[in-house]
Chain A
Amino acid sequence: MSYYDIYLKYKNLPLEKLFCNISPLDVKTAIEAERQSEFQFLALLSPAAENYLEDMAQRAHDLTLRHFGRTIQLFTPMYLSNYCENQCAYCGFNSRNDIARKRLNLKEVEKEAEFISSTGLRHILILTGESQKESPLRYIKDCVKILKRYFSSISIEVYGLTENEYAQIAAEGVDGLALYQETYDEIIYDRVHKQGPKKDYMFRLDAPERAAKNGIRNVNIGVLLGLNDWRREIFFMGLHAKYLQDKFYDVEIGASVPRLRPHVGDFKIPCVISNRNIAQIIIALRIFLPRLGITISTRESSKLREGLLPLGITRMSAGSSTKVGGHTIESHEGFNVPQFEISDTRNVEEIKAMLAAKGYQPVLKDWERLIPLYIMIIIAIVN
């Protein structure tokens, strides 16, 4: 069984009509329910729920505090390579875009790692464009070998891997995965992914599951807001997250809801999503899935990120750059085209200060990679 089977169950329902038919009473019941059904999740995402945003926010805040406390986990992305074989209409790394391509060599990876770890961060997310040729699994593994010395948690946001490849990368020391479906709508998916390996909808849809099955302990899914009607997309993403939580109860499931940002290329954003919509999305996800990790991206403005914090956010990036080598070397060379524009450009110290002012503890380390027994013995002998 795959999430696709569940998706099929709902896909042909008249969801737009169902959203519109939700009554105020449905919303109130959904907010107050001990646990929310799929239908109640839908109610929380409905237009009618927009009038109850404050009540929903209170519930979401309470749940977030109970489950995660007054803490926010910090990480930063590190772009390893922007070579890409895909033609995703919305992305700056699109293979048709005439941008300088760059792949960090291992020395540069080390330099970036040294710099990032000097800010105190112990969680890193490494990214590559989708190119098995330019950034093969072997290269990613070599990078991980270096990064392990600097970071206690390493997540990857790269092309979808096979089961065996996820097992290999987990054994190398990767504990987290970010892999976004972008859109659950197969027709839109096919249209915006014009060419390249990412065109395979099913291979991508099942990737989080393959990772969870093969030793990746933290799996993040997401949709790219702006490609399609957000209520529909978030409904399917919420069900996907629930499916993964139910099936892999020892894996931490998280979600991200990035909004389309301007980038190189001429793609027009099809659906506009307001700040109010983003708030409703985060609140509804929190109420439906109280233990879900929710990441807010630096694509959003500092003001919005701060406002959304108490509604359900558990993780945020700090000191972000979406350029290859963006932490230490990009300014010296000419390949400084970002994947997308970031809005919140604050560094780690600034984000930490902001969190402290808002009454949140920035958590820079929340994982411990278990090292093999023989190294333990050496440590014991040395001590």
Chain B
Amino acid sequence: MEDILTIGGREINNRLFIGTGKFSSYELMRNVLECAEPDVITVALRRVDLGSKTENILGYVPKRCIIMPNTSGARNAGEAVRIARLAKASGAGSWIKIEVIQDNKYLLPDNIETLKAVEALVKEGFVALPYMSPDLSIAKRLVDAGAAAIMPLGSPIGSSRGIKTRELVDIMVREIKVPIIVDAGLGRPSDACECMEMGCAGVLVNTAIAIANDPANMAKAFKEAVIAGRAAYLAGLSSTRICAAPSSPLTGFLR
């Protein structure tokens, strides 16, 4: 059976989503996208210069990709809503990664403002994918508000610390019915693999690829890790346990 992720009515084969910031050139970014063949990429609207031919980042994104603009720079729900509308008006489609950040030091999202933005934007017909700090109740509210997927952070943006929020994300994977896509903080392909083994629907990676010595091959490594992790999840991982299973059980006499 084919394993296809569906978000907002679009079929997604490649569960590695890629962020487009931090690359040393647009050509390199294009090269990475051609190597890793993501179905979904995200781009900050603040970086898009539609008026410029050579400097328009969107001109370097392969046609096959779903472009998911993000609301980077928004400090509250109102600003996120306005950026989303601007993205739509400029022809970037109706997908939007909602990013509401008031904290410039750690770039951690504001869940409450994020929820308000999702509520407003879904009503306007957007396919909303909110970036959030993992929290089950907020995630449930985001789903109720119509979020197409939930994007909890693994650790702070750019930190490469991996999936430090594992316990919280794990609970969300079990309880939330829309796809969970871990976004931010994944430093190594093995981190991405771990997320997929847990049952996440996908991961979004930017920094770890963009600042690698060889971004194209790093992107490939992430792509393969995501495939491996997904395959392991589907195949059914044996549950791990801390203790060894003793060959002479203490309660054997009760049998």
Contacts and interface: CB of A to CB of B under 8 A. Distances in A.
Given A120-B55, A251-B104, A69 B49 contact: no
Given A120-B52, A249-B104, A249-B105, A361 B23 contact: yes
Contact of B25 (A356, A370, A379): A356
Contact of B47 (A291, A360, A366): A366
B102 A365 contact: no
Interface stretch (B78-86, B115-123, B237-245): B78-86
Interface in A67-82: 67-71
Nearest to B212: A65
B26 A361 contact: yes
B73 A249 contact: no
A376 B85 CA distance: 8
A356 B23 CA distance: 11
A265 B44 CA distance: 46
A380 B75 CA distance: 24
A250 to B, nearest CB: 4
Interface string A341-383: 0000000000000001001110111111011010010011001
B216 to A, nearest CB: 14
A245 interface: yes
B62 interface: no
A366 B102 CA distance: 17
A114 interface: no
B104 A69 contact: no
A253 B79 CA distance: 20
B137 interface: no
A69 B22 contact: yes
Contact of B86 (A253, A364, A376): A376
- Chain A: interface size category: 35 or more
A365 B85 contact: no
A66 B211 contact: yes
Contacts of A383: 89, 91
Given A65-B211, A366-B47, A360 B160 contact: no
B69 to A, nearest CB: 10
A120 B56 CA distance: 10
Task: Describe B's contact surface by its main secondary structure.
Answer: loop
A253 B104 CA distance: 9
A371 B45 CA distance: 14
A69 B79 CA distance: 25
A315 interface: no
B23 to A, nearest CB: 6
Interface string A243-279: 0010001111100000000000000000000000000
A327 interface: no
- For B45, B73, B75, the residue with the greatest tally of chain A CB atoms inside 10 Å of its CB is B73
A354 to B, nearest CB: 13
Interface string A228-251: 000000000000000001000111
A77 to B, nearest CB: 20
B104 A370 contact: no
A124 B210 CA distance: 27
Contacts of B49: 120, 122, 152, 364-365
Contacts of A122: 49
A361 B85 contact: no
Contact of B22 (A68, A152, A291, A379): A68
Given A66-B211, A367-B46, A245 B103 contact: no
Contacts of A67: 158
Contacts of B83: 368, 370
A383 B26 CA distance: 28
Interface in B60-82: 73, 75, 79, 82
Nearest to A367: B46
A365 B58 CA distance: 13
B207 interface: yes
A70 B104 contact: no
B73 A368 contact: yes
A361 B103 contact: no
Contacts of A364: 49, 52, 55
Contacts of B46: 152, 365-368
B248 interface: no
Contacts of B25: 356, 359, 361
B89 A69 contact: no
Contacts of B45: 368
B116 to A, nearest CB: 16
A250 B104 contact: yes
The 3 closest A-B pairs by CB, nearest first: A69-B22, A70-B24, A250-B102
20 contacts: A65-B22, A66-B158, A69-B21, A69-B207, A69-B210, A70-B23, A70-B211, A120-B49, A120-B55, A152-B46, A245-B104, A249-B102, A291-B105, A361-B23, A361-B25, A365-B55, A366-B47, A368-B73, A368-B83, A370-B86
Interface of B: 21-26, 44-49, 52, 54-55, 73, 75, 79, 82-83, 85-86, 89, 91, 102-105, 158-160, 207, 210-211
Given A120-B54, A368-B73, 15 more contacts: A67-B158, A69-B211, A120-B52, A120-B55, A152-B46, A249-B104, A253-B104, A356-B25, A361-B25, A361-B26, A365-B46, A365-B48, A365-B55, A368-B46, A370-B83
